[in-house]
Amino acid sequence: MSGRGEPGGYDPRTQRTGAVMPDRKQTIESLEIEHRVFPPPPEFAAQATADADLLRRAAEDPEAYWAEEAARLDWMSPWEQLVDRSNHPFYKWFVGGTLNASVNCLDRHLAERADKVAFHWEGEPGDTQTITYADLHERVCRLANGLRSLGVGRGDRVAIYLGMVPELPAAMLACARIGAPHTVVFGGFSPDSLRDRIQDCECTAVITADEGWRNGKTVPLKANTDEALTECPSVTSTVVVRRTGGDVGWVEGRDHWYDELVAAQPAECEPEAMDAEDMLYILYTSGTTGKPKGIVHTTGGYLTGAASTHRYVFDIKDDDVYWCAADCGWVTGHTYIVYGPLANGCTGVLYEGAPGFPAEDRWWEIVERYGVSILYMAPTAIRTFMKWGPEHPAAHDMSSLRLLGSVGEPINPEAWMWYHEHIGGGRCPIVDTWWQTETGCIMISPLPGVTPTKPGSATFAMPGISADIVDEAGNSVGLGAGGYLVLTEPWPSMLRTLYGDDERFVETYWSQYEGKYLAGDGARRDDDGYYWFLGRIDDVMNVSGHRLSTIEIESALVDHEAVAEAAVVGRSDETTGQAIAAFVTLKGDVTGDEELIGTLRKHVATRIGPIARPKSIVLTDDLPKTRSGKIMRRLLRDISEHRQLGDVTTLANAEVVADIADMAESARAAGDED
């Protein structure tokens, strides 16, 4: 494993890391010469929710700022202390206050917005639902009662394994209503990944569906759940949404149809009064080891951060139609599809399926149909749309759009400009938002109407957030220099710990620099103080905006009987940001061929999920290693990206490098598989 200061890690002096896409960096450098700046359009600025005064007030007194933001929520009882700093890094926010997240997202809107649309939902096959706040409230209450009837109560963990159906946000809010922390597992994950997550936090119930829709095909969610549950003794009940009507296996006494369960329940449900610091959810994310980290978020601080940032960054107005085109399986869906938007009483769009189904203009058809005014998506999607061509958005009336957002990975300036021109019609501000599962909400982003933007830069820290870039020794590097991104003050929506592993929490985020949170990203500031993100400094890859650890994929490969050893690196990819490149040595008696390569790629997809399928696998007799036996991933990255090979003098087996490079070349010439 390489980390900071090791091969493949980020070097703040040269501002280079193996994880960085070289073409993007060149572009950033050339842009600095070009100095393209987009000032806020005056008409937008005139109506914007945020203004410069907000930034000034937050900078003068961040705690007063957060107290004001938290006061926009409905509290059942007020907090006694804003932030308790006595046990660093285990901060507590809004100490003593009580509230319920589902009440803040639903009940409090009913007096004035009962008939306002909460979600325009569109299924992949084309079926639709219009769900008002009153409808969603009723659905959530019925399911919350249903869960209680199955014995699920305060503090019990519930796994949610669904596609993007309306029952997904409803399930999250139903859990929140009864104080049962949810853990949403992305519907594209495998039975093994589901099992690991359920086991780690010992869920007692799972909410799933018969099947999901993706690209015109069905995803066997219930069958996957059944497989996972053969090794999950903590689970005593499942609730199964009927989505496709496909055949499923059934365990009497354990399995319950969702529609039957909720039909028998009352439409009102008494919410639990939760302590501000009670757990709202656990969301697993990849770290630098094979074991995913269970990020723990609490009720008061998280909801404050989600609602406040959603309001300012997306300039939310009562008549907006807002579409965050993420999946609720990731943090973006938690914060910016469910908790933030609903806390703000906003109308959202939910789309179940793939962007190219049935045709490459599906998204733009949706924008036109619902009159979407705010669109938030990942650069990998933007690059896919670039590849498909501007004629698809051009065929639709997208004049309703007024603001665009980007999240999940650095956005390269070409994609930024394409987004600006072909989606935003040249008139919409773009907010490039940097944050993490751990931070709970956006930390670094332009405020639309306030911040002049530069294509490719996430600009500045949000109001109430203190960021810095430091060198190896922890000293601020100042303007015009690069280093490690840190957050220097606690913030309300910060992760509280890793589920069941306080030690790893402290070690991963708080042990490098006294009192500072280490994000794990390389970044630099230009002379104007704008932040430019450069990619991860650890062994975490970013494929299509999803975090995957190299170690996780290596373990899955080594798990196959033919494999002796494996090394995985992220190489830059035009569409997905990074692509997974694997180098594998086989056991002595195995001969490798194309068929085996196919089998290994499939094996990883089965073990982790299709998103983890390596784009290329090179079979090699040996891997480049240091004398101490450490695999030199930096060299493999150089090979994958056709770079001049770095220093090989520390290698124990320098001769393998040329062979691997040759093999990688012929693999590439044969064309990457998909």
Residue of 457, 207, 218, 509 whose CA lies nearest to 329: 207
Smallest distance from the beta carbon of 169 to ligand WTA, in angstroms?
18
Note whether 375 and 399 are within 8 A (CB): no
Closer to ligand WTA by Cβ: residue 191 or 405: 405
x/- mask, ligand WTA, residues 99-128, rule CB under 6 A, reads: ------------------------------
Enumerate residues 596-635 that contact ligand WTA by CB under 6 A: none
Note whether 10 and 16 are within 8 A (CB): yes
Is 451 a residue that touches ligand WTA (CB under 6 A)?
Answer: no
Which of 31, 158, 269, 331 binds ligand WTA (CB under 6 A)? It is 331
Residue in this structure with the two tokens 């004001």, named with its chain if needed:
68
Region near ligand WTA per CB under 6 A, out of 114-122, 328-336, 359-367, 635-643? 328-336
Measured in whole angstroms, the distance separating CA 451 from the mean position of its chain's CA atoms is 24
Smallest distance from the beta carbon of 547 to ligand WTA, in angstroms?
5
CA dihedral for 308, 327, 137, 284, sign (positive or negative): negative
Distance between the two ends of the chain, CA-based, in angstroms? 27
Enumerate residues 123-142 that contact ligand WTA by CB under 6 A: none
Closer to ligand WTA by Cβ: residue 161 or 533: 533
Closer to ligand WTA by Cβ: residue 521 or 552: 521
Is 12 a residue that touches ligand WTA (CB under 6 A)?
Answer: no
* E-state strands within 247-361: 255-257, 274-275, 279-285, 293-298, 321-324, 347-351
Note whether 261 and 244 are within 8 A (CB): no
Helices (runs of H) and strands (runs of E) counted in the chain: 23, 29
Is 433 a residue that touches ligand WTA (CB under 6 A)?
Answer: yes
Closer to ligand WTA by Cβ: residue 551 or 596: 551
Give the three-state DSSP class for 618: strand
Is 27 a residue that touches ligand WTA (CB under 6 A)?
Answer: no
Which of 332, 373, 550, 555 binds ligand WTA (CB under 6 A)? It is 332
Which 8-state DSSP code applies to residue 194?
H
Residue 425's identity, in one-letter code, is: G
Which of 91, 121, 434, 517 binds ligand WTA (CB under 6 A)? It is 434
* Long-range contacts from 466-472, C-beta under 8 angstroms, 24+ separation: 466/62, 467/443, 467/531, 468/516, 469/523, 469/524, 469/525, 469/531, 470/513, 470/516, 471/12, 472/4, 472/5, 472/12
Enumerate residues 278-307 that contact ligand WTA by CB under 6 A: 285
Smallest distance from the beta carbon of 286 to ligand WTA, in angstroms?
9
Is 521 a residue that touches ligand WTA (CB under 6 A)?
Answer: yes
Region near ligand WTA per CB under 6 A, out of 77-85, 89-97, 256-264, 519-527? 519-527
Closer to ligand WTA by Cβ: residue 9 or 624: 9
N residues, the chain: 674
Smallest distance from the beta carbon of 24 to ligand WTA, in angstroms?
10
Region near ligand WTA per CB under 6 A, out of 75-83, 129-137, 428-436, 661-669? 428-436
The secondary structure of 88-100 as a DSSP string is TT--EEEET-EE-
Smallest distance from the beta carbon of 447 to ligand WTA, in angstroms?
15
* Long-range contacts from 33-38, C-beta under 8 angstroms, 24+ separation: 35/454, 36/413, 36/454, 36/455, 37/452, 37/453, 37/454, 38/420, 38/429, 38/430, 38/452, 38/453, 38/454, 38/455
Smallest distance from the beta carbon of 590 to ligand WTA, in angstroms?
36
Residue of 621, 536, 547, 533 whose CA lies nearest to 580: 547
Note whether 625 and 653 are within 8 A (CB): yes
Smallest distance from the beta carbon of 534 to ligand WTA, in angstroms?
8
Euclidean distance between CA atoms 10 and 632, whole angstroms: 14
Which of 412, 436, 549, 572 binds ligand WTA (CB under 6 A)? It is 436
Region near ligand WTA per CB under 6 A, out of 329-337, 341-349, 488-496, 603-611? 329-337
Euclidean distance between CA atoms 196 and 181, whole angstroms: 17
Euclidean distance between CA atoms 435 and 433, whole angstroms: 7
Closer to ligand WTA by Cβ: residue 207 or 458: 458
Is 508 a residue that touches ligand WTA (CB under 6 A)?
Answer: no
Euclidean distance between CA atoms 140 and 134, whole angstroms: 10
Closer to ligand WTA by Cβ: residue 208 or 542: 542
x/- mask, ligand WTA, residues 371-410, rule CB under 6 A, reads: ------------------------------------xxxx
Is 547 a residue that touches ligand WTA (CB under 6 A)?
Answer: yes
Smallest distance from the beta carbon of 432 to ligand WTA, in angstroms?
5
x/- mask, ligand WTA, residues 404-423, rule CB under 6 A, reads: ---xxxx-------------
Task: Provide the β-strand partners of residue 459.
Answer: 531
Which of 412, 542, 578, 640 binds ligand WTA (CB under 6 A)? It is 542
10 Å CB burial of residue 641 (0-12, 13-18, 19+) is: middle
Closer to ligand WTA by Cβ: residue 208 or 437: 437
Euclidean distance between CA atoms 373 and 448, whole angstroms: 14
Smallest distance from the beta carbon of 50 to ligand WTA, in angstroms?
18
Which of 99, 280, 458, 462 binds ligand WTA (CB under 6 A)? It is 458
Which of 520, 570, 592, 624 binds ligand WTA (CB under 6 A)? It is 520
Site size toward ligand WTA, by CB under 6 A: 22
Which of 65, 189, 533, 583 binds ligand WTA (CB under 6 A)? It is 533
Measured in whole angstroms, the distance separating CA 157 from the mean position of its chain's CA atoms is 21
Smallest distance from the beta carbon of 405 to ligand WTA, in angstroms?
9
* Residues near ligand WTA, by CB under 6 A: 285, 330-332, 407-410, 432-437, 458, 519-521, 533, 536, 542, 547
